[in-house]
Amino acid sequence: MLYFGLFIILVGVDQTIKYIVLRFFNSYALINASGPFSIKGHSYLFALLGLIIIGVFLFAIKKQASKDKNLILPIVLIISGGISNIIDRTWRGGVVDFIDLKIWPSFNLADILITFGVALVILNEIKRVCR
């Protein structure tokens, strides 16, 4: 239940930040209707693809997560970021990106959650293999 609460909070914070950026700092926002790495396509297709990837990821890692509790937080981070971006694609027609470092494509908090979650999964796997 704790992790479900964290999921709700993370998605809520990301969606709230995106709403505030769109409402009050619109010049900093970019609606990215493309897919990852600016692949052109339909937002609904990428939303569906995102749901499929999340499903496959959950299925593939579920057995390992039941054995290794260190994977639960990374899964929550990945799913939270993925669902928040899918909400954007469904409701806004594209993902709202608002962080622009000029050395990398624009991104958002959901992308950070996904990246950290994947990094934690990789680190956990490296630790497991090296034992």
- The residues carrying an active-site annotation are 97, 111
With respect to residue 34, please indicate whether it lies within any of the assigned structural domains: no
- The domain containing residue 110 runs over which residues? 1-11+40-97+105-126
Least confident of 21-35, 80-94, 107-121: 21-35
With respect to residue 31, please indicate whether it lies within any of the assigned structural domains: no
Least confident of 20-24, 77-81, 92-96: 92-96
With respect to residue 18, please indicate whether it lies within any of the assigned structural domains: no
pTM above 0.85, yes or no: no
- Residue 65 CA to residue 91 CA, distance in Å, equals 32
User: Count of domains in the chain?
Assistant: 1
With respect to residue 33, please indicate whether it lies within any of the assigned structural domains: no
What would the pLDDT profile of 93-122 be if each residue is shown by its tens digit?
Answer: 888 998 888 888 889 999 999 999 999 999
What would the pLDDT profile of 63-76 be if each residue is shown by its tens digit?
Answer: 666 677 788 899 88
pLDDT at 35 over 70: no
- Residue 6 CA to residue 76 CA, distance in Å, equals 8
